[in-house]
Structure 1
Amino acid sequence: MSESVEETAEALRKAFDTMIDRLKEARDAIDTPELYPAPQTERNLAEGYRYVLGFLLGSIERSLADPLYPRFRRAIQPMNRSTIDNSDAVYLAAEIDGNHSYRIRGRALDSRHWRGENPVTSKRAPQYVIFELSSGHAGDSGSLAEMRPGNRINTSTLDCHSLQVDSDGHFEILIAPQRPENYDGNFMLSCRHSHGSDYVGRFLTCRELFHDWSNEDLLDLEILRLGAESDPRSPLNPAGAIALMDRIGELTRNQVHFWNAFNTVTLETYGKVPGMPSIGDDDKPFMPTNDMNAPNALGLATGGGQSTNIYAGGVFMLGDEEALLIESTVPVPPSFMGFHLANLWGESLDFESYQSNLNGHMLEQDADGAYRWVVSHRDPGIANWVDTTGLPHGYLTIRWTYPEPPVREQWPSLKVKQVAFEDIQQSLPATTKKVLAEQRQEQALMRMRHVQRRYRQY
């Protein structure tokens, strides 16, 4: 082995060791009090290690990505759920360089519902789809300071209600620093001047939100940089491998540290944090316990989130014989509505094996027009039961999607009530729908089949 090869081997080994050190720093966030971990219980500790490994998985995939040769990948999936994710969503992502131009080609199944029409086939496109191009990725710095206004923006968004789709379900989207003259097709701007600064789109996401899990299916998507076919990618060299390992370690460590701090400090999951600024009321945490905050429109400045969503959130803390009743009136029907539970690491609860979420299609609306969910550890025989999977302490979240939000006076409203498990039936309207054990089994089979389709790898 030549001297130069020996030096390369040593540099690569050193980079690998540095990566492992950063991964250990990520692991420390599971149980180091100064790093804002979830309370130490056997389940929280076990899930904390999965949480860190999930960020490692995501960091590997992100670090291997090439903005000049992008492809859509699953940013969140059952192996790396995080950030209080939407149980009804597929999160796709592609790293790009907004100084260049790209073309997305796609195909959707029956998408008439995107245009306010009735579908004519049973198999159809997701309930709602949105593409968003951001100048940065939440959590990459590892510091809550990145949430200051103007640190990152969406340079462009495009949702299914505005997407031009042909009669066969095909569509194209051009992404470019400026719209070509006389171009009237689907377009996303990749460079924008805002807040006195110039921003370049770097992180493209596509959220596909599902209502009817039995009949809605994924989009077919591809993305190519214009000119990539005549400009082949260079093979990996030692400098590239070192940069790859550096980025994997840095992203994993920073993401875990950021979201721990976000959950504890920003969301005030465990109460007010002395000496820290608050986005909640003076006397009430932003995420109250056994209650939910008022519906609000979050954005990139509060850790990200879908730009067309109105959110409400809180924390449940329930004993074996306790339950929460959550009631919502929705004056203006949204494009999507979903209620979800998550653990204190921000991982959505297992929605394949448990009914840990209920969306607007699954939900039984009561005769008075209100929507009601029952959150408890065991089945009360109510159709709208949401299963905690035995977790005593976790997150509650509702999302309503409005591409054009209604006036504030017509936003959804919420009421949350804690009751004894034995009082659930009498606390609900007499017309509340009940279900039998066989129906629960049918619902469980539907969930398993849908989740396999949603996250298929072929």
Structure 2
Amino acid sequence: MTDDNKEMKQQLRAAFDDMIQFFQEARDAIDTPELYPAPPTERNLAEGYRYMLGFMLSGIERSLADPLYPRFRRAIQPTNRATIDNADAVYLMAEIDGNYSYRVRGKAKDTRHWRGEQPADGVTAPQYIIFELSSGYAGDSGKLSEMKPGSRINTGTLDSSQIAVDANGEFEILIAPTKPVGYEGNFIPSKRVSHNTEYVGRFLTCRELFHDWEYQDVMDLEILRLDCEQDIKPPITANEAAQLMRNVGEIARNQVHFWNAFNAITLETYGKIPGGISDKMGMDRPFMPVNDMNPPNALGIATGGGQSSNIYAGGTYLLDDNEALIIETHTPVEPAFMGFHLANLWGESLDFESYPSNINAHFLDRDKDGGYRWVVCHKDPGIANWVSTTGLPHGYTSMRWTYPSPPPKEQWPTLKVEKVAFDEIRSKLPEARIVSEAERAEQRLIRHRHVQRRYRQY
């Protein structure tokens, strides 16, 4: 073995050891009080380790990505849920370098509902999709100090209300620093000046949101850098492999540390923080109130980023076996998508394959007064619109209303939360439809089949 090879071997081993040390520091966030973990119940601890493994997986996939040869992959899926994710969504991401130009090609099933038309019977496109190109990735610093105006922006967005699609459901999107003269197709700028700074797009995300889990299906997507076929991708070097391993560990550690702090300090999940967001908003309770939800709010620091076309609301539930929450919303302007979801205190959406831990507008029975009402509790109350906690006593509640064009503030959705005794549910909701166990079983089958189809790896 040459001296050069011996040195490279030591360099790579050292990088691997650094990655393992980063993983250890990520692990520490599961049960070290100073790092703001969820309360150390048996289930919280078990789910915390799974949560950490999810960020390890994400770190590996992100670090292996090449911005000059990008491909779409699932940024969040059942194996790495986080950030109070939307159980009705596919989250896709491709790393790019916004100094270059790229072309996205897509194909979807029947898209007529994107234009307000009635689709034909059968399989259709997702309820709503949105592409967003960001200059940064939330949580990568590992510190809450990154949450300040100008730290990262979207250089451009494009959603299903704007995308030009042909009769076969096919479309193309050009992503480039500037729009070519005379170009009239779908376009997302990869550079934008804001706060007297030029930002370069690095992370292209695509969210596909589903209402009808039985008939709406994912799109086919491709992304290529223009003229990539002219450039031969060089083999990986030892220095690059070493940096890759350190990146894997650093991403995992920083993400776990950031989101733990975000949940405890920014969201005030476990109580008010002096000088925190609730004080700044003049609220006399935590931003994430217990057995209640904060008022609908648009994208911003309080949401930790998120989908730019959403209005959000959130809180926590803390219920025993004989208690329930009734969540009520009225929507003066009907959103393109609406969903209610539960998550554990790590921010993982609860199991939405075996349990109705989320219910969107498609599966929701609407009341005669035009309102929508969900019931959150541990055991099945035997009525429609039941959202199951999967037996978890304490977790997050979240609402999302999607508006391609936001309505005026006075026409935003309203929200009301009421805690009731389990035995009072039916008297509180006299119009609620009775649901048989056979119908519940049919709903579970739809969930199992949709989740397999949505997250297929082939």
**Gapped regions of structure 1 (runs ≥ 5):** none
Distance 1:300 1:246 in 2: 29
Q: Confirm or deny that 1:190 pairs with 2:182.
A: no
**By how many angstroms is 1:369 displaced?**
0.8
Match of 1:181 in 2: 181
Distance 1:24 1:378 in 2: 38
SS at match of 1:327: strand
Match of 1:425 in 2: 426
Match of 2:289 in 1: 288
Counterparts in 2 of 1:52-451, with a 5 A limit? 52-274=52-274, 276=276, 278=278, 280-299=281-300, 302-428=303-429, 430-451=430-451
Q: Give percent identity, aligned residues only.
A: 68
Q: AA paired with 2:113? A: H
Q: RMSD in angstroms over aligned alpha carbons?
A: 1.0
SS at match of 1:361: helix
Counterparts in 2 of 1:21-60, with a 5 A limit? 21-60=21-60
Distance 2:185 2:299 in 1: 29
SS at match of 2:187: strand
SS at match of 1:424: helix
Distance 1:284 1:275 in 2: 12
Q: AA paired with 1:249? A: G
Distance 1:276 1:245 in 2: 36
Q: AA paired with 1:219? A: M
SS at match of 2:221: strand
Distance 2:27 2:253 in 1: 8
Distance 2:407 2:156 in 1: 21
Distance 1:378 1:196 in 2: 54
Q: Is the 8 A contact 1:147 1:302 kept in 2?
A: no
Distance 1:377 1:103 in 2: 47
The 3 A distance-change label for structure 1 pair 252 and 143 is same
Per-residue CA deviations over 1:105-164 (Å, capped at 9, x if unaligned) read 010100000001000131100000000000000000000111100110000000001000
**By how many angstroms is 1:413 displaced?**
0.5
**By how many angstroms is 1:299 displaced?**
3.1
The 3 A distance-change label for structure 1 pair 312 and 275 is closer
TM norm structure 1? 0.99
Per-residue CA deviations over 1:243-280 (Å, capped at 9, x if unaligned) read 10010011000000000000000000011124655455
Distance 1:441 1:277 in 2: 42
SS at match of 2:240: helix
Deviates more, 1:273-282 or 1:337-346: 273-282
Q: Is the 8 A contact 1:74 1:90 kept in 2?
A: yes
Distance 1:292 1:170 in 2: 40
Q: AA paired with 2:338? A: M
Question: How many equivalent pairs are there?
Answer: 457
Match of 2:12 in 1: 12
Distance 1:102 1:410 in 2: 38
**Gapped regions of structure 2 (runs ≥ 5):** none
SS at match of 1:8: helix
Per-residue CA deviations over 1:10-64 (Å, capped at 9, x if unaligned) read 0100000011001000000001111000011000000000000000001100000
Q: AA paired with 2:266? A: T
Runs (4+) off by over 6 Å: none
Distance 1:304 1:140 in 2: 13
**By how many angstroms is 1:75 displaced?**
0.1
Distance 2:265 2:73 in 1: 30
Match of 1:456 in 2: 456
SS at match of 2:362: coil
SS at match of 1:188: strand
**By how many angstroms is 1:184 displaced?**
0.2
**By how many angstroms is 1:431 displaced?**
1.9
Distance 1:226 1:65 in 2: 17
SS at match of 1:78: coil
Distance 1:285 1:374 in 2: 23
